[in-house]
Amino acid sequence: MGKTQEATRSQPPARRSRSFTAEAWKRLCGDPWAVVSLGILGVMSLLALAAPLLPLSPPRLVRTERQFQPPRFWPLFEYGFRSVNGEETVSSSSDERPSREALLEEGFGQLGPLSGLLLRIRWSVFGEWCLAPICGTDKLGRDLFSRILWGARVSLSVGIVATLVSLVIGVTYGAIAGFAGGRVDRLMMRLVDILYSVPFIFVVIFIITIVSAEPVRNMLENRWGLSRIMIFFLVVGAIYWLTMARVVRGQVISLRHELYVEAARALGVGWWRILFRHILPNLLSVVVVYLTLTIPRVMLFEAFLSFLGLGVEPPDVSWGLLANEGLQAITPIKIYWWLVVFPGLALALTLFALNFLGDSLRDALDPRLKRIR
């Protein structure tokens, strides 16, 4: 008896097996490119979210006396807002000083509740002190660094929102087609083939043109509360679901005859519950990987449309719109390189990080690539 207890004590404790998510996260953190990509995306997202809180010059505030200034780092801070006509807002007479609300409305436009709260905190902490134009200024004297961070809010938002819209449509459509099979599957996929043959750029131009008409815009804003930029998000997302539908459909076809699916059928479980409770959770890794690869495509498409003047409209700002403004300012006489380099660098870093993260996620979530330790 004593020998048995002693042998039991001498045996090493059984190592608890980690879940699939923990193993995938460990493999992801072991990839240096994935860590760097996560860091870049985290910093960019944090700066975009905290843009109202940072001591930045208002992105819409025109200061014609400092147009086309190159990047400047000293002095690092400057004092005073200026109005649209270039006059000083800091005056010795309180009657001539514009109200704080007028300054905020002029420089930042209408903001949501959270952004408005952050902006009030920024005003109470920093007052009228602003960061110097470390990325230079544009043709209207607006701070380019401030416009890049505020444009990141739009560019990242369109990438996430449009991708989520395509995710919902594509996963639902492809899952139903793959699980139904037969004539329903053939009919649904032929519709996908037809939509694939339609040039998306013309569809987007057609829809944006209709939405931009004054009667249609007023109706959508007054009745449905949909702004033009929100409709733009939905339109871009609604045209990127086709590939997701095909990917999900192929995976569902390979899983619909598995033993656990047949067991659920034998127990009388409905097809809707089988599809969304038993099959789709097993496609999570494929969906997540495709999600990270779709976001950069959507962001690049938004930048392309904004570059052509069909996407985000002033006074809103995005990285594509900034690149378009920078290209218009370049002339054979003078090249204002900072107007193109810095917005393009922000977009390129984000796209590279998303693509590297998608590749790393694909490897981390593939159980066949699990390393033997």
From start to end of the chain, where are the E strands? Answer: 77-79, 129-131
Phi, psi dihedrals of residue 82, rounded to the nearest 5°: -125, 150
Taking the C-alpha atoms of residue 354 and residue 307, their distance in angstroms, rounded to an integer, is: 21
Q: Going from the N-terminus, what domains does the chain have, and what CATH number goes with each?
A: 37-50+143-369 (1.10.3720.10), 57-131 (no CATH)
DSSP 243-285: HHHHHHHHHHHHHTTSHHHHHHHHTT--HHHHIIIIIGGGGHH
Cβ-contact 146, 135 below 8 angstroms: no
Q: Is the pTM of this model over 0.85?
A: no
pLDDT in tens, the chain (373 residues): 455 555 445 555 545 556 667 777 888 888 888 899 999 999 999 999 999 888 888 888 888 888 888 898 888 887 656 544 444 444 334 444 455 666 666 778 777 788 888 888 888 888 778 888 899 898 888 899 999 999 999 888 888 888 888 888 988 898 888 888 888 889 999 998 888 888 877 877 787 778 777 787 777 777 776 777 777 777 777 778 888 888 888 888 888 888 888 888 888 878 788 888 878 878 877 888 888 888 888 888 888 888 777 777 777 888 888 888 888 877 777 888 899 899 989 989 998 998 888 888 877 776 555 544 4
